[in-house]
Amino acid sequence: MKARHWVLLAVLGLFGACSYRFLGGLRTAVYHGQVVDAERGTAIPEAVVTVVWYRAGIAFESHPKFLLNAHETVTDIDGRFSLQVSSGLDWNPISTRVDEPSIVVYKPGYEPLWGGTEIRYGFKGNQLVESLKRGATIKLRTLEAAKLASTRYISPGAVLGGASVPPERIPNLIRAINLQSKIAGVEAYPKPSESEVVP
């Protein structure tokens, strides 16, 4: 085979790989379901469902995570939610999209469902993502039933796996966390800057 055929094949292969990597973020899915109280079985309205995608830097050994895309919604009076999600495009040539998103279901007074509690809630691996695609029932436990102090899981960084997400991208989650912070008697997040303090 001539050299130019090899070059053409290499260019086509590279184009195909790049298209898969870059355009894969255009795929959308609908995550839906219902959030209920685990003890009573009653619907939990105004629970926040947040879905966050990250990209990881491939040039670093520690693979720090950077925000790629974020979506959120709030459950209705029947505890139901539906959220169209997409990871978004990663145009950075030295990073790669983390395949599975971080998912948080949060309601003040309840133990949040997030990466650190998925197993306790009965989800392993990518089971939560697959369940949400089919329509999951999320049974949140009250903080008392979960035997947790009300001050735990206050930080958005905790429920989002330690990665930084700008508060304006997840306003409902921040609002819910701040309500729990007020109940627990701790400072709201993020701390207001001096210029934002009204005398």
Contact 71, 14 (CB under 8 A): no
Cα 73 from Cα 45, distance rounded (Å) = 11
Question: What class is the 27-192 domain?
Answer: mainly beta
> According to the model, what pLDDT value does residue 148 have?
67
> According to the model, what pLDDT value does residue 172 have?
94
> For a pLDDT cut of 70, what percent of the chain falls above it?
64
Select from 188, 171, 168, 167 the least CA-distant residue to 179. Answer: 188
Q: What is the DSSP string of 27-71?
A: -EEEEEEEEEETTT--B-TT-EEEEEEEEEETTSTT--EEEEEEE
Any idea where the domains of the chain sit in the sequence?
Answer: 27-192
pTM: 0.76
All residue ranges of the chain with pLDDT < 70 are: 1-26, 57-64, 89-98, 148-163, 190-199
List the Cα angle 84/162/130 in 5-degree steps.
35
